[in-house]
Amino acid sequence: MKVLLAVPPGIEKLELYKVLGLRAPPLGLAWIAAVLEQGGHDVKIVDSPTLGLDMASFMNEVKTWHPDVVGLTAMTPTIYKAYDAVKAIKEYDADLPVIMGGPHSTFMYEESLGSGVDVVVRGEGELTTLELINAIERNGLDPAALKKVEGIAFMDGGKPVMTRDRPIVRNLDDLPPPARHLLPMDRYTLFGKPIRIIHAMASRGCPYGCSFCSTSYFWGRMIRYRSAKNVVDELEDAMARYKTNVIAFTDDEFTLGRKFVNEFLREIDERGLDISFSCGSRVDTIDKEMMLALQRRGCSALYFGVESGSQESINRIGKRITLDRAVKVFQWAKEVKISHVGSFVVGFPWETVDDMKNTVKFAIKLKPTYAQFTVATPYPGTPLYAEAEGEGLIEDRNWEHYTTLTAVMRGYRFTKEQAQKALQWAYIRYYARLGFLLSEMLHGRLSTIVTAIRNALVPWFNEQLLHREPPQ
Ligand code: SF4
């Protein structure tokens, strides 16, 4: 079968994509493509925003390549663009099967099916997509055949049908490496500048199930690590192919598996690899010793989700870390001289405006190299969504606004507008500090960060510079 897998066109204009000028490869599609190729199918990936394709050029790709199936991926804020693509494909050829995957479709499969999608791939996509494509090859979209495929949803006689959940891939080493050869590897950017980076993922799943995060609900609560050998084999091959040693691990919690981290570092040592990498961590799964070991093997940046300056909020979201530990770990990062990003969320439903201000003050106390602030966003599939929906807190149902930079819900004690204002104030308060600006100037990074902040806070940045009062 000829299978065209695509990121829909038009999403580069969304706020989400303007932030940090970031264009990252669709690793999930590349992994599915690899499994389909291994299964004997002919696959093409069209990463529309990275290639700068509008809908007409995207449809041109579809018309000239003549796929037997088109597969689209989307997240919540990009879902309408994916539905636009479905409409365009169906107008061109109503019989061309269109399938869709990703977290939004997984949890809102009825909505996706209502947009004209023939089949939704729910959850982990590789094995389900392969089995689905094989089923379509043999029987088209015959409902009786589709019912045998685990992990999908489709319409049968005007009614949505959800098949049994597919068990997770227990041994991730069984999957082939992502098909990077199908991606425009030279076109990815950071801060709007082209950069050759190998994005990689060493694990899937998370045991914590924080109420605002979909990771545990999409990938499962059991964290699964690939073997260190399998990961480093992939990196070595990709580094040689794409002539770069810069690696970004997209795992949420890379350091959660100490055994994996030790083996990974040993592999790097034994192979004498010179790499520069960044990864996500938790303040309770790293110590100074591990930090030093990571730094010596090329770790240049660590990303920590601290989330809040209120221990009560941290407890309520289920993060299971302490503020004291965060203070200690951020101090170690400074001593070890490793760049560290702290991520903070304002606007959990139970918070007050003062709680949000305290979160910003806590960020300033921790003084990470960079602080990322977002506003609590009720993504479908998460407990936060269930609470916000159940309590009638959601005020904005336009999925394009679900970027974590736009407030879409009110709290029990704050309005949607107050949450929005708190987010803007957080950025101004953190980044307009004299000490921060001087340090950036000394490191020659000022223009980069100013561009990033400006992009992140369009269109309210200028207004806020004129009105720097704290949120009320
Ligand atoms: S925020 Fe981090 S710790 Fe919490 S569920 Fe998501 S990935 Fe896991």
Residue nearest to atom 6 of ligand 1 (CA): 213
Residue nearest to atom 3 of ligand 1 (CA): 208
Q: Cis bond leading into 459, ω under 30°?
A: yes
At residue 80, the pLDDT reads 97
At residue 458, the pLDDT reads 46
Cβ(360)–Cβ(347) below 8 Å: no
- Rounded distance from Cα 371 to ligand 1 centre (Å): 18
- Rounded distance from Cα 409 to ligand 1 centre (Å): 21
pTM score, two decimals?
Answer: 0.92
At residue 22, the pLDDT reads 67
- Rounded distance from Cα 204 to ligand 1 centre (Å): 11
Rounded distance, CA 311 to CA 370, Å? 21
Atom number in ligand 1 closest to CA 209: 5
Q: How far is CA 198 from CA 24, 74, 235, 271, 463, in A?
A: 10, 21, 8, 18, 38
**DSSP for residue 68:** S
Mean pLDDT per 10-residue segment, the chain (472 residues): 96 60 86 98 96 96 98 96 98 98 97 98 98 98 98 97 97 98 90 83 96 95 97 97 94 93 97 95 96 96 96 97 98 96 96 97 95 95 98 97 94 97 92 74 64 53 42 50
DSSP-derived 3-state class of residue 449:
helix
Of the residues 208, 214, 384, which should be mutated to test ligand 1's pocket, given the most ligand atoms within 8 Å of the CB?
208
- Rounded distance from Cα 63 to ligand 1 centre (Å): 41
**DSSP for residue 23:** B
- Rounded distance from Cα 148 to ligand 1 centre (Å): 33
Cβ(31)–Cβ(58) below 8 Å: no
Atom number in ligand 1 closest to CA 216: 5
At residue 467, the pLDDT reads 43
Q: Which residues line ligand 1 (CB under 6 A)?
A: 206, 208-210, 213, 215-216, 252-253, 305, 319
Rounded distance, CA 111 to CA 120, Å? 10
Tokens, residue 311: 């221990």
Of the residues 204, 212, 216, 307, which should be mutated to test ligand 1's pocket, given the most ligand atoms within 8 Å of the CB?
216
Atom number in ligand 1 closest to CA 214: 6
6 Cβ contact list (under 8 Å, min separation 6): 29, 45, 46, 47, 48, 58, 61, 70, 71, 72, 73, 85
At residue 290, the pLDDT reads 97
Tokens, residue 130: 């392969």
400 Cβ contact list (under 8 Å, min separation 6): 14, 15, 77, 78, 80
Tokens, residue 28: 């999930």
Rounded distance, CA 57 to CA 55, Å? 6
Rounded distance, CA 29 to CA 6, Å? 8
Residue nearest to atom 4 of ligand 1 (CA): 210
Q: Which domains does the chain have, with CATH numbers?
A: 2-162 (3.40.50.280), 196-467 (3.80.30.20)
